Amino acid sequence: MADVFRLLPALLDEEVPRLEREQRAAERDLADLLALARAERASKVQRARKRFRSAGLVRLLVAESRKQVHRDPDEAFHLAELARSLAHRNPRMTGYFSLLVLTTAEMANACRAGSHLMIAGQHFSHARSVNSQYGVTDTEILARADSLEGSLRMDEPCLERVCPQRRAEALPLRPLPPATVSFWRETVTMPRWFRSKISRCCISARGEPRT
């Protein structure tokens, strides 16, 4: 253990500058993408050979998606989808499967914000499938995904108030029992890591909390 502590300063001296360089590069990439029209961003990413491949950029795009989700759900979905496409371009990036779960959950949340509830449910189902198949262990990302899905489940009993043009799409998600809705509301105040553990135990293979 003493040897580890002796090596730590040298390791930090090497790793911190590298991480700072990667963060600055990701911020430049983000700025370049946001400066483009929405329709041009994906093609720019596809043409690039070395740029737009970092986990840092994926997380920055997710952060931008969150900023837009209530103001412009379509833009939020686009940014989250773009983030997922970046992850797909570099399967060797650190936390690849965790980022797939995160970006897919953010896509689902953007659909929820735009009242596309059925599509949101499909994206959440895909996120759970990735987690189940590849064993994602990032508790912060799992907590975020579970929290977002919980918001969708709390929306389900309110389907009668969905605007008419969205209602036909929303109907496939049947309302949950009141006890289940109460469960999701109660978990909002729990620590994220604890909420993640509880949610993962209570969500079945079909994505419905057990009551």
Contacts of 115 (CB under 8 A, 6+ apart): 162, 163, 166, 169, 170
Where do the structural domains in the chain lie, given as residue ranges?
2-202
Residue 52's pLDDT is what?
93
Tell me the C-alpha distance between 140 and 153, whole Å: 20
Q: Which amino acid is residue 109, in one-letter code?
A: N
pTM attached to this predicted model: 0.71
Tell me the C-alpha distance between 106 and 46, whole Å: 22
Residue 145's pLDDT is what?
94
Residue 22's pLDDT is what?
85
Residue 165's pLDDT is what?
47
In a structure prediction context, what are the per-residue pLDDT tens digits for the chain, which is 211 residues long? Answer: 556 556 666 666 666 777 788 889 999 999 999 999 999 999 999 999 889 999 999 999 999 999 999 999 999 999 999 999 999 999 999 999 999 999 999 999 999 999 898 899 999 999 999 999 999 999 999 999 999 998 888 876 654 454 444 444 444 444 445 555 555 555 555 555 555 555 555 544 334 443 3
